Structure formats: structure tokens, C-alpha cells
Structure 1
């Protein structure tokens, strides 16, 4: 439920109650005597509940602040809301409380854009006794219904509004409870019905609460680092998805709220990697869910090819009716290699050879896709060019229409092979060689994969390196084989993957930390010296926390610790302006521009890989890796962080306590 600070969703805004990629409520407005209420305070209580404290404004026959209003809301399988009024005036008062509700049943793809008008197809079946509003919609095989049930019943109905006429005396209180059940196709969802004493007290049976209770405990000389860590863990809990794959219950992270509460291959995989030190269950769930939908054949509409791992799954009306290709959609050139990277990382942290053997056919199919279908140029690079009329033009993480461009701002021709995808592919082959040689006992395959990785590294550093402007990596090659010569943050991902020769790492680090790339809050997606730079352009000048977490990890990998810690410190400072939460992205304005990070207009907040970024930052600070069945830390902690203790890190079937101060680190089994 996406509402304003009063708890309202005015008609015509992008807010509302969204479930399974359908907006079930697009209006939810509470008024008293036909006037909006004054906000005293509001906020989330936990990932699934919120409270709003309100009062009346100055009204005829009712001075301000005579009626206190509290709204308590719980979202889960629909919505449950309690509204409470208490009157503090001296004389009895007549009140008219009105809740205006409405729906457009918009598909998620239509919410931020003008979509199809369904108003003539929405059937109203409101209860005449005032106990419920009901809206239903059908289009062919697609069906959706929402009810707004109230106890006590409204005094009267006005169009799509519930109206209660009340007479209160001094100190008198009144309340009502609203339940909003949903009906999606053959599935019915009934909101949680329990007292708010249970709703707002953490329930021991709540799986999100159990997961939060299980995460390692962080102690640090930096209160800010601890606050960001705790906020990230809480946000990640709010984005948990539960599924059953091949008979096994699994959990994984959705991409983000409010627009991406679904599985995104790239986002979910990177989040699984970032958060592996909190536990391996999310990475395991991600691997299994994506493997269960690995492509088996060709399909142009969904950009499907055998062995490919999907990019995005949706379930709204447009997808169900075949108008959008998202059930699932495979338009991601990098997702398949990232799946292999996370399979390896899961094994390194768990030693789970059984899962490797179970998913080895999927891994081999993914490698075949890379070699047989991914190389659209015929030059040995994984690239993309959509075949779908509804497909994405850019199929890397910079997937906005202008996300990949030349330094002069022109848009390249397809197919495009972006630099970081080659880095992921290199890393994937190195890691798969390790698995082939280890648990799969196939030394011949391991030898072949290492040879392929070495050849890729050699030609990549020949074809993607741009000697001008001090030396850097082009963001990609276009369909004509030309270097797409914009300077981007993607080259930081190359450090993370290990494809950069050591002698060039210093040059890449210098570019990333230059005034043109580093805003003071983080590394920008595009250099200010490039023609297409826009500090509020989605991928052409903004600062993304997940991007910076990968860059910092890559810098540390090559010994560029000072640069890595500069990024981490800036990100920690930025979080202080948003309640210790890092959003999907913020604007790329220089730090001197406003003395605080400028928000990006429509950023998801929270978003999974942004919430995962502080956890990868922490891992980078500790120099934490899983190597040959043991945890190894090589910290280089800046003095302001003081000593760090991370207690109860799960790995290899047990828990570990990590201690770090300066360059000294120690790993012990948990007591």
C-alpha cells in the first residue's frame, strides 16, 4: 500500500494497494466534515504495518485539534485498517466521517503511465446496509475483485464512499475496523484478522521476524554502520518471497517496493550474493526458482533461448492475456552468467555439493547458452538484441532506453555487448571450472573453461580498452563492432569480476574516483564530461548504492582500499539523510550542490539490492571470503569504524564470530 503521510491515496496519483501486479485500490481518502485531516505524525511500524496520527483542522463549529484520529494499517493478503476517533471538545459534536474508495484495476505497467480506462467494465456490488463496498472486473479469462468491509456498517453510502454520522461527547471514543480482501483469478486472499496488539507486536510465528532474529549481530565503533546494517536487514525482511520449487519450500528476495515486488533475475541474484553472510537460504531459493524456469526452447516474444535464465516475472492482466511477455521474460544478457556466479558463491559458503549436483544440468545449459546463443556479434562476447515487439532495448543493468550511449550522446545500434557482462562471463567460467574440478570431478571441463576464460580476458582487454582520456573501458561494443565510448560506472564491475589486469586497476580506480565520476556521495553511472550526463537521468548520471557496493568490492579486490573506503564512507553518510536506508538511486549532483543527497524522483524505497549494498560494504570492510571450507578475513578498517564484531555468521553448517580492528582479524566458532 503506497499512500501519503496521512494514510490517504488521492485519486489520480501513483499510489494505491497493489497485489500480483494489479492495483486493487487507487483511491483511499479519509475526511472529517468534508475536510482533510491534519498530519501530526506517521510512519511504518514494521515492514507490514503503519500508523497515522491525525487531527481535525479548523472547521465551522469545530475548532482545530478537538478530534484526534489514529489509523493503524496492516498489509498482508489484502489490507486491514482500524480507524479510531476521540473527541476532546467541551460540548457534544456532530461529525461526518467519510472514507472514499475506488479502483481502476490498473496493471502495474500502467500505473506510472496512462493506461486503458476500465471504468465501464468495473461492476459495483455495494452492500445496501453499508457493510461493504465491492468492485469487480473481468476481461476474458482475467478476473479481479476487491471488497472494503466495515464493522460497524456505515450510516450511508455515497457513490463509492462509506459515510458514518457520529455524535460524540467529551472524552468519547469511536472506532471501526476495515478489511480489504482480494480475489485474483481463482485465488482469494483474506487479510490478517487479529487484534492490533498482535499486529504491532512482533509475532514469533512470523517468518520475517524469525529471519530477522537469526541474522548475525553487528557491533561497531560506528553507530551509523550499525544503524544502516539493522535498517537493511529489516528492509530485506519486508521483501521476502516464499515459493515452493520441486517440492521444496524456498525463500528469496523480491526486487523492491512498491513497483517490483516480484522476482527479477539480475536484482535477486545480486541481492543473494550481497547478503550471503546473513545466511545462504536466500541465495539457494534464488538459484532454485530461476533454474525451475530456465528456458528450454526459442520464443521471440519473450526473448527466450535454451539455457537462458529469466529477467523478470509478472502476473498482471496484460501479462496473463499475452499482451506483455513477462511470464517470464528473458531479456537479460547478464542474468545467466550471474546465476552461475551465485551457484559458485553458495557452494563456497556452504560446501553444499548436493545442490551443485542437482543444478549441474542447469549450469551446463547456461554455459551452452553463453557460447551458442549469447554471442550475437560473432566476436566472442555475450550481447543482446531483442526479438520481441514488447522487449527491452537494453538488456544489461542499465536497461533504460538511453542507458547505453556514446560519449557524444548518440544511441548505439544493436546488438550490444556491454563490458560488465563480459566480466561476469569471465568470472562465471573461472568459478564453473572450480566446480567442475571439485565436486563434479570433471578436470577436462575445468581445463576447457579456464582456457576459454583466459582467451576472453585477453581479447576483452584488447577490444574494450580506450586509451584516450587517461585510459578506461568502453561501456560496450555496438552492432558494428565500434567501442561505445562513454565513461561509466560499469568498469567498476570489471574489477569485481577480476577481468582487469593488475597494471590497469590503478587507472580504473583513478577514473572512478575522479571529480567527473565521484559525486561525493558515490560513483555516478555516467561521467559529467559525457554529453548525455544528466544527474536525474535514470542510468546517465545518478548514483546507485548497489552499483557502488560492487565497485567498492572490486576496488578492494585490487588493493585499492582507500578508494573503496571513500565510497563506503560516503554511502554511510548519505544514509543518514534517509533514516539509515539507501534508496534504489539518488541524483548525481555534486555533494557541494546541496550539502545532502538529492533524491531521485521515482526511486524504489526500499529496493533489495540497495538494501543489500551495506552488507556487501561490510564484507568489503572485513575482507571476508569463504575459501576452502573456512571463513577468512583480511580487514583494513579505517579508524572511525573502531573495532567490528559480527557474531553468528552462518557458513558450512555452523556459526562463526568475526573480530576485526585495523588490519587485524580473527574468526572463531560461535559459542
Structure 2
């Protein structure tokens, strides 16, 4: 984000506030606001004391992500009636969200020795902008703002959208103002020494027919209970390093924050503010990252995506039978088809990753009943891979845009210039990006295993044939002797894009690469042109389009690094895993709230400085928050074998700044264990502190 801002999310509602707790969008911070369903329902919320902005003391979001708080004080007050030196009135401000409602509270305490009077004003407005307008999309025609309705204790802003939907912003003052206008509430404060004054208000982002908000204490109690319930279902982790614990705690809170109820279970929304909705790729990868600590959340992701799997050809939405959606939106511009993202399928990797998540979920839980219910969707996904996904029949998965408004590049690096040749020219034609071939290989492997358990010999044989074909042809097609690693993609003419990118690192998670070449890729990724000191860059220094400030061509993405780390551990490359984990942990020490952002710039690490932030990165971003959990799993060599009810550790390692780690509640539905992993000389010892049920803990050195 461009300047320091704070975000809260609950359900479909999220808010971006400045450090004062205000909403005052500007050219350097245009995204501030209260949003529901891709629409900004509140575009101004501003506090003034005697006509001035209060003085800042401090502000933060609490560690559980529920409550924003700001400690403010009065400016110098000279208005004829009374005068007051600065910092005599403490103004405590808090905001939380519940059930599509913002709950605001102001508490004033007078620390002066005399009574004082001054005006306190709250300003409001609602522009009902679509999120895509704020991202720069131009509109030919907007809906119609209706006249504001002002009552004794409330203001209602209304907007009749061009999609036929009426949107309402309902502001209610539980503490009645002395004067209320269309955009302003005025309180004439009169406060004696040590006296306290409280002002309470709500802002509801509503549609016609929505119920009124519940009162503030009940809302906060329910919110706390909901958060505690979510966290109680998650494996608990604690280490000897308090700074690392802060990263774990914030990441876990962010994961819970991004979980959003759908008719099919809870889904990891992608990120705030730009991607607060369902993304296929993001939801799947976050579920994979968190599978060992929260396997139950994969159910909602798989269920939602299965329900929205494409069933017919729809070129304008890049939809084909069996394909998993990329992005779904419910804002005005999506509903009127000004943008194609109402239900958009322009992603090449979500479909194989859908199968991968199902297979990994089965391995983690043994829940064959759920897989059986999902089987037709999984077979449809594999059928998409071998037909529409393999455009030219060569066994590789390619993408090619059909939609006039859709994405040109449809891998995870979906910027227009993300796939290019060594000379900087962009790849054209159906493009086969390298990591997707790895995803496909792993997907076919999982289909073989699931088909065997379900007795589906036809699917098993087809998946086996595809696995062998990919294994046979992958290396020859994608390996580049010139760059010493796999190129990023094959273009439409089957020319290899010989560019050094992090995509090659993600291939390792699939197991398609031999040990020899996996180690060669790992060596390249750890060299200084790739590893910035904070993490692995998306594109290595020296490549034609390398730019450490580019979204996809030189920055560092935590989720990308975590997937690479997951792949490295398959080959026993724990030193490299620890290096990546340490880089991101060190970066978090410089981040606001100890939160890893969506991405940061790829400049070389400099002594006594943190990483350079990317100006409009989402915070929180689900798969950035999930990165630390997948990297920790990789470092510990943690795996699961449900049919033997075994928790498995393969050559566990701890970084040198962690002496021990406690893991509480790890296991299966048949039983759980509390574990202590402790450094002993150059080894890590695994101790079973507590065990319930019929499970095993197995350690391979």
C-alpha cells in the first residue's frame, strides 16, 4: 500500500483505515474505504477536534486481527469559549467489523485540571465506487446516487446501480449528536477534569431487506467467539524465539481473517484490498500451505470450486468443461460485464492444482468418502487437462486467451510481460509454462492413487499413461544448457523461453525432476542473482526484463518461495529450505505488524535496512500468510500417512535461531499428539509429550 494503512476484514466486509482511524482517500492512498462485494460503501470517515485533525500517539491492529485502535490527543484549542494546550484530552478510538457493519467508538478523557468545551466532528460520505474503478478502469456509465436521508440519529446514503441493485450505507449514532447534516455529525463536547465521554456509531453496508445491526457489546462478543472457534480448530505452534512466534501468530490470525463462509464451507479469500474474493489458484495454494495445521479448511475450498467448475464452453469467460475458476466477483462492473470476472476461468493451473489439493487432503486425512463425492469433478478436471488443457496434443498443458477482455498470461505470473524470451520479446501463441507441467505430473499421480482406492481402472490407466508421457518428455523440452536450469515456458512455436525464473523452482514440488537436475536448479536459485538476501526473486538479475520493482519480473513473493521450499525438501535440500525460511523471517522483522505482504521489491539486502516494500501489495494476503507454515513443514520434513495413522518427520531441521518448537494437537480424527522438537548438538530430537488415540510418530534421520 502507498502509505501506512490498516485493514480489517470480517466475512464479506473489509475496511482500510489510515493510522488515525480515518477514511480519507487521496492520490497516494486511493483505496481507503469500507467495502462489501467489490463496492466501496464508505469513502469518508474523518474525525476533527475543534476543526483540526487530532494528534497521533500510536495506532495498531490487535494481534488477533479483530480490533483497530488509535491513541490520539487534542491539538491546541483556541476557539473563544475556552483554550487548551495540546495533549490534555486523550482520545481513544476503536473500530471492528461484524455482520457487514463497522462499529466505531470514541472515548475521551480530560487530563487537564479544568472543564473544557470544544466541537468534535465526524464527516461521512459514500461514493459507491467499484473496486475496478479504483484500480484504474474507466466507466462509460455509472449508476445513480440518490439523495441522502437524514434523521435525528442517522444518515443513509443510497446508490441505484446500473446492475439494478440498490446499495445502502446506513450510519447510526448510538450517542446522539448535537447537530446532524448530510455529511457531518457535530458533538459539542463539555468535559470536566478526569471525566469521560463516549461516542458510539455504526456504519452498515447494506442491501434492501438486510436486518439492522445488533448492539456493540453483543457484536464484539460474537466476533471473539467466532475467532476463538476458528483458531481452536488449528494446530498450535510455539517456538523458543518470540519474534518468530509473532510471525506465526500474525500469519495464523491472517489466515483466519481471510477465511470466508460460502454455501460450500469456508474459503480462503485472496487478499485485501484488491483481491478480497474467491480466486481458484490462491485458495488452493493457501489450503495446501495450511493443510498440516488446518486440513478441515480444504473441504470448503474443494467444495466451492467443484460447485463452480465449468460445464460448458464459454469463450468470453475462458471457460471449458471441467475447468476450475480463476476469479469470481459480485460487484457492479462484474455484474454488468464491464469486466469479465463475474465468473472467470482464465487460469491454466487451478485445474491441476484442484486435483493436487484433493490428493494431498486425502493423504493428510484419509477422508475417502469426501473424495468419492468429489470424484466426478476430479475426473472432469483431468479430462480438461488432456483435452482443452493440452491444446496441441503434445502432452503439455498450455493456455491461450479466448476472452476479448481476459488475461493474456494465465499462469500465476499473469502480468502481460511475465513470460518472455532471453531477448525480452514476449512469448506468443499457446504457452506452456514450466511449473504447470509439474503440477500436472503431480495431479496425475494423485489421480492414480485415488482411482486405485475407488476401483476406477480406466481413470487409473489414463493417469498412468499421462504421467509416463510427461516424465519422458519434460526434461528434454524445458531444460536449457545455456542458463543451467529449466526455462520459463514453451511458446506457440515450441521455442523454449530461456530465462532464469523462480518458476523452475516450483517444478521441484512435483517430483518430475531427477535428483541430479533438482540439485542443479537449487544451486542456481541460491546464487546472488536469484537470492536477494530476503528471498528468491521471480526473475534473476541480468535477464532482459528484470526489474526489482516489477510485479512479476524481479520481486520476491513469499508464497512462491514457500512452494520452492516445499519442492526442495523432496530432495533432502534442507539447508536451502532453512535459507529461504530465514530470509523471509528476517524480512518480517521489518514489516508492520510482523506481517509478510503479498510481495516486496527484489533489491539486494543491505545492512541495517529492511526490504523495500512494493507500494500496492495486498496486506494481508492469504498465500503470503501461509508461506511460513509450508516452509516450517518443509524444514521439519513433516508428512502424513493416514493408512498407517503415522505422523512422519524426515530429517527434521531447525534454523539456528530456534532451539525448540512445540506442536500441539497434530494428528488425525483417530488421534492427536502434542510434540516437542528440540535441538541437540547437530540433531533435532522429537519427543511425544502427549498422545491420544491410535496414531504413530515416526522419525527418519
CA shift for structure 1 position 506: 1.4
Q: TM-score normalized by structure 2?
A: 0.90
The yes-or-no answer on 1:577 pairing with 2:599 is no
* Equivalence for 2:696: none
Change (3 A) 1:126 1:455: same
**What is the match of residue 231 of structure 2?**
212
2:67 match: 49
Structure 1 equivalent of residue 262 of structure 2 = 243
Q: For residues 168 and 130 of structure 1, what CA distance do their matches in structure 2 show?
A: 22
Aligned in 2, Cα 1:24/1:664: closer, same or farther, shift over 3 Å?
Answer: same
Residue number in structure 2 paired with 1:18: 35
Partner Cα distance (2:178, 2:137) in 1: 35
Q: What are the residue-to-residue correspondences of 1:268-287 with 2, within 5 Å?
A: 268-287=283-302
CA distance in 1, matches of 2:423, 2:607: 25
C-alpha spacing 1:219/1:85, structure 2 compared with 1 (3 Å): closer
CA contact under 8 A between 1:631 and 1:667: conserved in structure 2?
Answer: no
CA distance in 2: counterparts of 1:496 and 1:190, whole angstroms: 49
User: Of residues 350, 374, 390 in structure 1, which corresponds to 2:405?
Assistant: 390
Q: Tell me, yes or no, if the aligned pair for 1:217 and 1:646 is still in contact at 8 Å.
A: yes
Q: What's the counterpart of residue 619 of structure 2?
A: 605
Other-structure match for 1:181: 204
User: Paired residue for 2:363?
Assistant: 348
Secondary structure, in 3 states, of the residue corresponding to 2:464?
A: helix
CA contact 1:86–1:174 (8 Å) conserved in 2: yes
SS in 1 for 2:544: coil
Give the equivalent residue in structure 1 for 2:521.
508
Q: Give me the whole-angstrom Cα distance separating, in 2, the residues matched to 1:90 and 1:118.
A: 57
Gap change, CA 1:136 and 1:163, over 3 Å in 2: farther
Name the counterpart of 2:9.
Answer: none
Distance 1:111 1:443, change over 3 A: same
Pair 1:153–1:114, CA change in 2 (3 A) = farther
**2:691 matched to which residue of 1?**
670
Question: Could you say if the C-alpha distance between residues 81 and 266 of structure 1 is closer, same or farther in structure 2, counting changes exceeding 3 Å?
Answer: same
Aligned 8 A contact 2:488 2:497 in 1: yes
Counterpart of 1:458 in structure 2 is 472
Partner residue in 1 for 2:654:
637
The question of whether the paired residues in 1 share the 8 Å contact of 2:322 and 2:381 is answered with yes
Instruction: Return the offset for 1:217.
Output: 2.6
CA contact (8 A) 2:293 2:666 kept: yes
Secondary structure at 1:83's aligned position in 2? strand
Could you say which residue in structure 2 is the equivalent of 1:365? 380
2:247 is aligned with 1:231: no
Which residue of 540, 548, 551 maps to 1:527?
A: 540
Q: CA deviation at 1:204?
A: 6.0
Question: 1:103 matched to which residue of 2?
Answer: 126
Displacement of 1:351 in angstroms is 0.8
SS in 2 for 1:592: coil
Task: Check whether the contact 1:647–1:670 (CA below 8 A) recurs between aligned residues.
Answer: no
Match of 2:663 among 619, 627, 646: 646
Per-residue CA distance 1:50-84 (angstroms, 9 max, x = gap): 11111122343332112221211111212111122
Residue 251 to residue 660, structure 1, CA distance change in 2 (3 Å): same
Contiguous gaps of at least 5 residues in structure 2: 1-14, 693-701
Is the contact between residue 239 and residue 658 of structure 2 (CA under 8 Å) also seen in structure 1? yes
Q: Does the CA-based 8 Å contact 1:648-1:670 persist in structure 2?
A: no
Contact map agreement 1:149 1:180 (CA 8 A) in 2? yes
Q: CA deviation at 1:500?
A: 1.1
Task: Check if 1:129 corresponds to 2:152.
Answer: yes
- Describe the superposition over 1:305-334 as per-residue Cα deviations: whole angstroms up to 9, x where unpaired: 000011111110011222222232111100
Instruction: Give the drift of 1:478.
Output: 1.2
Residue by residue over 1:510-549, the C-alpha shift from the partner in whole angstroms, topping out at 9 and shown as x without a partner, is 1100111000000000011112111111111111111111
Q: Which residue, 269, 282, 298 being the options, matches 1:267?
A: 282
Change (3 A) 1:158 1:203: closer
Displacement, 1:667? Answer: 6.1
Maintained 8 Å contact 1:78/1:190 = no
User: Any residues of structure 2 matched to 1:92-491 within 5 Å, and which?
Assistant: 92-113=115-136, 115-116=138-139, 121-129=144-152, 131-184=154-207, 186=208, 188=210, 190-195=212-217, 199=220, 205-206=225-226, 208-245=227-264, 250-437=265-452, 439-469=453-483, 471-491=484-504
TM-score, structure 1 normalization: 0.94
- Does residue 672 of structure 2 align to residue 655 of structure 1? yes
CA distance in structure 1 between the partners assigned to 2:70 and 2:213 by the alignment: 19
- Looking at structure 1, the residues matched to 34 and 614 of structure 2 have their Cα atoms a distance apart, in angstroms, of 23
Cα contact 2:395–2:469 (8 A) shared by 1: no
1:62 equivalenced with 2:84 (yes/no): yes
**Is the 1:81–1:177 Cα contact (8 Å) retained in structure 2?**
yes
Name which of 629, 635, 638 aligns with 1:624: 638
Query: Size of the alignment, in residue pairs?
Result: 661
Deviation at 1:400, TM superposition (A): 1.6
How big is the shift at 1:135?
3.3
Shift of 1:297: 0.1
Q: Distance in 2 between matches of 1:604 and 1:140?
A: 28
What CA distance in whole angstroms lies between the structure 2 residues aligned with 1:388 and 1:114? 17
SS in 2 for 1:532: coil
Which whole-Å CA distance do the structure 2 matches of 1:449 and 1:140 have between them? 44
CA distance in 1, matches of 2:455, 2:690: 30
Residue 596 in structure 1 maps to residue 617 in structure 2: no
CA RMSD of aligned residues (A): 2.1
Please give the secondary structure, in 1, of the residue aligned with 2:606. helix
Structure 2 residue matching 1:145: 3-state secondary structure? strand
Post-superposition shift, 1:476? Answer: 0.6
1:664 CA displacement: 4.2
